[in-house]
């Protein structure tokens, strides 16, 4: 709303077109008994009756009709008399209109398609600019499927994101509810998606398979348990169709789900690098674990695997360096320096390490005390006293390879 200086009239701008559609007196915005407003009754996606005036919709609230865009805290409202005539209206909105009248036709504001906005009329959709040549001839169809959560509740899976039913009705909201995610959809009675707001505040939990046949292998762990080897990661059995990450890395909730035909249905991402598996002389898969030699703050040599450090216990035996009474993580090396056994079930999270390379010591200063290793992991220097070393910069590691 823009008011001209020295003028009692208000100039109405519609942001979708930028053109002046009408002039109204300030008094007429608040109350009018002589001027008749053209309006029509429309039905919302939820089946409720609304009033459409100048591209804006009003829903009934007690004896008045208020703006239906409640999320914007809009205070626009109107009143009808016994003859269904508008006797009072406050039509100042703080948001764009959802409808637009072009050549006497009412077009509904459609959702984005490739960052463009469209208005719908019947089965056709038009761009917000009249002279724009692009037209949509059919409604965008969303592919989705019904899945079940760990608690057995029904969810809708779209593009790696899941939606749960908010309450009895057609509205489904993002099931993660993380970081105030406001993604939602409206499902019609014919099981078609009428509206979809798919902008999430987090990464998707599932990857879309798109009908691809992903291969996996069944391998045996060092303790004789059956595991699934998939894209360099191993998964242990939770149920016949659900498998979880077997590395026990802190906060790794990666899962792999199978269909009844034992094919990969979907899977989630890991928060740690994959390990390399090789085939031994016996034809079985053996785990080849990558590790690094690091130095403790006291200058002792340690082994680092997946962010955890191990100190030497015997000639070939190494135990968790935290010396936590409840942590029994340990590993064993052979004569060639390869890890032949590892129990990586730690009872704690990995500590922030002050680290330098053992074999070839090089010092790189990092003002903020942060750095990356060759696997892309971030380490923070948290020592209380100044030592003769800092973390490696990511650029220096790439230059050495």
Within 10 angstroms of residue 289's Cβ, the number of other Cβ atoms is 17
Rounded CA separation 36/34 (Å): 6
Contact present, 179 and 201 (Cβ < 8 Å): yes
Q: What is the pTM of this model?
A: 0.31
Strand 9-13 relative to strand 20-25, pairing: antiparallel
Return per-residue pLDDT of the chain as tens, 401 residues. Answer: 444 444 444 443 333 333 333 333 433 334 434 356 778 887 776 678 888 887 788 888 888 898 887 656 788 888 888 888 888 888 888 776 766 555 555 555 544 333 344 444 544 444 444 433 344 333 445 678 887 776 778 888 887 678 888 777 788 888 876 667 888 888 877 787 877 787 777 766 665 454 455 677 787 766 677 888 887 788 888 888 888 888 766 667 788 888 777 778 778 777 776 665 544 444 444 455 667 777 777 778 888 877 788 888 888 888 988 876 678 888 887 776 767 777 777 877 776 544 433 333 233 333 344 444 444 444 443 333 233 233 333 333 333 33
Rounded CA separation 101/99 (Å): 7
Q: Which of 278, 256, 268, 338 is nearest to 305 (CA)?
A: 338
Q: Where do the domains of the chain lie, and which CATH numbers do they carry?
A: 2-97 (2.20.25), 102-136 (no CATH), 145-197 (no CATH), 217-270 (no CATH), 370-400 (no CATH)
Virtual torsion, Cα 167, 169, 171, 176, nearest 10 deg:
30
> Quick check: helix, strand or coil at residue 316?
coil
- DSSP label at 392? P
Rounded CA separation 361/375 (Å): 18
Rounded CA separation 158/207 (Å): 10
Within 10 angstroms of residue 166's Cβ, the number of other Cβ atoms is 11
């Amino acid at each position: 709303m823009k008011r001209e200086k020295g003028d009692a009239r208000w100039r109405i701008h519609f942001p979708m077109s930028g053109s002046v559609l009408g002039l109204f007196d300030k008094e007429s915005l608040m109350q009018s008994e002589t001027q008749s407003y053209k309006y029509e009754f429309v039905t919302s996606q939820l089946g409720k009756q609304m009033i459409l005036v100048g591209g804006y919709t009003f829903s009934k609230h007690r004896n008045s009709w208020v703006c239906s865009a409640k999320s914007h805290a809009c205070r626009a409202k109107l009143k009808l008399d016994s003859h269904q005539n508008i006797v009072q209206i406050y039509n100042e909105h703080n948001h764009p209109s959802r409808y637009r009248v072009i050549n006497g036709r009412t077009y509904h504001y459609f959702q984005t398609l490739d960052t463009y906005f469209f208005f719908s009329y019947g089965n056709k959709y038009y761009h917000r600019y009249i002279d724009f040549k692009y037209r949509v001839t059919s409604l965008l169809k969303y592919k989705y499927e019904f899945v079940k959560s760990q608690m057995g509740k029904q969810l809708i899976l779209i593009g790696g994101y899941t939606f749960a039913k908010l309450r009895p009705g057609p509205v489904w909201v993002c099931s993660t509810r993380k970081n105030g995610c406001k993604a939602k959809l409206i499902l019609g009675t014919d099981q078609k998606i009428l509206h979809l707001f798919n902008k999430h505040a987090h990464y998707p939990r599932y990857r879309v398979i798109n009908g691809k046949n992903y291969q996996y292998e069944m391998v045996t762990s060092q303790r004789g348990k059956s595991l699934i080897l998939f894209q360099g990661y191993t998964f242990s059995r939770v149920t016949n169709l659900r498998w979880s990450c077997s590395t026990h890395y802190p906060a790794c909730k990666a899962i792999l789900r199978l269909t009844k035909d034992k094919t990969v249905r979907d899977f989630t991402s890991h928060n740690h690098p994959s390990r390399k598996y090789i085939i031994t002389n016996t034809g079985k898969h053996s785990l080849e674990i990558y590790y690094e030699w690091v130095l403790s703050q006291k200058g002792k040599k340690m082994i680092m695997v997946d962010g955890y450090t191990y100190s030497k216990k015997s000639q070939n035996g190494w135990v968790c360096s935290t010396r936590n009474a409840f942590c029994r993580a340990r590993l064993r090396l052979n004569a060639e320096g390869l890890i032949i056994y590892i129990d990586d079930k730690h009872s704690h999270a990995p500590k922030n390490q002050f680290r330098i390379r053992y074999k070839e010591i090089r010092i790189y200063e990092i003002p903020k005390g942060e750095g990356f290793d060759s696997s892309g992991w971030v380490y923070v220097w948290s020592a209380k006293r100044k030592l003769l070393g800092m973390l490696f910069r990511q650029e220096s590691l790439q230059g050495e390879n």
